[in-house]
Structure 1
């Protein structure tokens, strides 16, 4: 990053956003037509600011524009919460989704060489998390008599040195089953996909194997299996069983043979892992499945440190937009980490940014690079 910049830390942080793409989409969707005050560039900056500060409502965001620094950054002397509400409900979700995917492409480019060099097979973890909504205001997302919610289906690229990032997301109503989304996320034969029991589908596992895709999943303990062969294990292995099996009943049995690995987790619970990789040690497969916790930590991080607990709008579009803005914020933190070769966590980077938001960018950059600030 350029240390000799007149940008504020806030401006430096969101500078990876491709504003050529931004302008093209604004024109394509006519988002600034007939706009007198709240242009899209200003609105995006407000939404990014709101995510950083976990601003709880559009009314609170409207009040925050009283800050002279925020006024200079957005070019807005003031803005009403009703104008903000109309905006977030009107913008097509594909707008924020495109910005998110462009940032993902930048992260992928910066980690591509490291990924191929350090990991024989890159890992992509698939899971989902339900975001609860108020039933009264979000009838369109009802999934139980007393509850509403949306489900964020996510694919996370798992890297070394605690670096992970989302690279694909699908938002559905919470009633949608995870299993139906699996094929959406399987598109790269060079990766090893890791997912939990919610995605079990024997027929799909056969198709993945036939098409050359590799996976590690957890199998239910009561699953019907027929053992074809047992493999030997080293004495000190945490794995106590390694077998080649076919899964399913006589009426609904897999066409391919899979590998079933059994082990105890740290709490003494028995885990049954299913994979179509036969060229790796059983211990390696067990370690790979442990990496699935990275996506659990990601969801926990999002819910604790990004503003997706309270939603600004009641429409499906507004809710989806806010979730994508939250993921944009996460990607910007990852890019700050990569661009500075920082050992700081994304949480530390975010905290230092908030502390130096309107100060010169070099102060924030030096801090996250681990250098002393004069």
Structure 2
């Protein structure tokens, strides 16, 4: 990536590789700031050679975070996303993607210089938009935006895969974007807004064993030819499934272009959308994207991308070694053994054992 974009053109010593290694170390080791990161990393000088890097200086890392573009970090994160999802596609399993965004609050000294302009009533900072592969719980696409950017504007940049299923909430209510998903040969499950103007076309039969849960299952069409001041391109029929919500008085009204699955299956797929909320919670709890090593926009973006890269590396490690432990347990083990090379240490132990055996044979018995 560095060669492709000539990213190290003006770098003398501290290149993108050194930068990436340092930031990933900061994420996996749980460093609370630049000083602990630099002190911890530099204490393992014997292992720097094998990583193709060297000792780092705090001022150098701080300058790189502030001034260096996040382009290469973003490209690396995207490449790793492809590596994680490749095995799933080879196995021919159903692709299901969850789409949502989360806000990263950035307030205070120096943050206000570039976040106040785009703040909303509830949020000041950045938005991280994410497409999550539901089967292996790893990101498949990500993008940054200002806090005041509507989610559906970024949704139009999401790469669409044929025969895949996309699940998202009613914040992504854009009929023309739904039309793009359908035209790509993909399916979607989402929610209708309460003011959606619908014409009933057909009433599907509700099986007896689901009548207490499924209130209605209809085929509908949009009444209006306009949507948000633009022509409504979605002309095909949709399914409208109403599901009982025991904790609320109003039902859950789902929209989908899947005409063959049962109403309960559609409801279950929408319920699985909660996995992306858990993903956002996981990375905020276990990786470093709440406190930042720098306060410029570049520094924040690079740190968040380093967190995604670290998450993907741990997911790849778990996937390649077919580990049964949870991702959190894998992260704990990796954090505790970051600079241990198991094969090297095992061969050293065997060599020492052999030397002792030979020494025992050579040394005559004294008694």
TM-score (norm 1): 0.81
Q: Structure 2: how far apart are the matches of 1:129 and 1:304?
A: 14
Secondary structure of the structure 1 residue equivalent to 2:255? strand
Q: Which residue of 2 aligns with 1:54?
A: 30
Q: Which of 145, 150, 159 is the aligned partner of 1:172?
A: 145
Structure 2: 5+ residue runs without aligned partners?
347-367
The counterpart of 1:336, out of the listed 317, 331, 343, is 317
- Cα deviation, 1:103-126, whole Å, max 9, x if unaligned, reads 122112222223x1x43xx11111
Is 2:112 aligned against 1:132? Answer: no
Mapped partners of 2:166, 2:238: distance in 1: 15
In the TM superposition, what are the counterparts of 1:36-75 in structure 2 within 5 Å?
Answer: 38-68=14-44, 72=48
Q: Deviations over 1:47-76 (max 9, x none)?
A: 111001222222332232452358646677
Counterpart in the other structure of 2:268: 287
The answer to whether the 8 A contact 1:32-1:39 is kept is no
CA contact (8 A) 1:230 1:242 kept: yes
Q: Count how many residue pairs are aligned between Structure 1 and Structure 2.
A: 334
Closer/same/farther in 2, CA of residues 266 and 67 from structure 1, 3 Å limit = farther
Q: Secondary structure at the match of 2:22?
A: helix
Is 1:263 matched up with 2:240? no
Q: Which runs of 5+ in 1 are unaligned?
A: 1-20, 366-374
Q: Within 2, Cα distance between the matches of 1:297 and 1:262? A: 25
Q: Is the 8 A contact 1:209 1:256 kept in 2?
A: no
Q: 1:111 to 1:147 in 2, by over 3 A?
A: closer
Q: Is the 8 A contact 2:45 2:54 kept in 1?
A: no
Higher relative contact order (CA 8 A, sep 6+): 1
Match status 1:141 vs 2:115? yes
Cα pair 1:127 1:155 within 8 Å, conserved: yes
CA RMSD of aligned residues (A): 2.7
Change (3 A) 1:349 1:102: same
Structure 1 CA distance, aligned partners of 2:328 and 2:345? Answer: 14
Contact 2:166 2:189 in 1 (8 A): yes
User: Structure 2: how far apart are the matches of 1:209 and 1:297?
Assistant: 28
1:7-86 alignment, distance < 5 Å: 21=1, 24-25=3-4, 28-30=6-8, 33-35=11-13, 38-68=14-44, 72=48, 79-86=56-63
Tell me if the contact between 2:103 and 2:123 (Cα under 8 Å) persists in the aligned partners: no
**2:201 and 2:219 in contact (8 A); partners too:** yes
Tell me if structure 2 keeps the 8 A contact 1:51–1:307. Answer: yes
Deviating 4+ runs (over 4 angstroms): 73-78, 248-254, 362-365
Q: Is the 8 A contact 2:45 2:55 kept in 1?
A: no
Indicate the structure (1 or 2) with the bigger Cα radius of gyration. Answer: 2
- Structure 1: distance between partners of 2:182 and 2:15: 49
Q: Distance in 1 between matches of 2:132 and 2:221?
A: 29
More off after superposition, 199-208 vs 279-288:
199-208
TM-aligned CA distance change 1:251 to 1:77, over 3 Å:
closer
Cα deviation for residue 93 of structure 1 reads 1.2
Deviations for 1:194-250, whole angstroms, at most 9, x for unmatched residues?
110110012332343345332111122343322221111112223221011123557
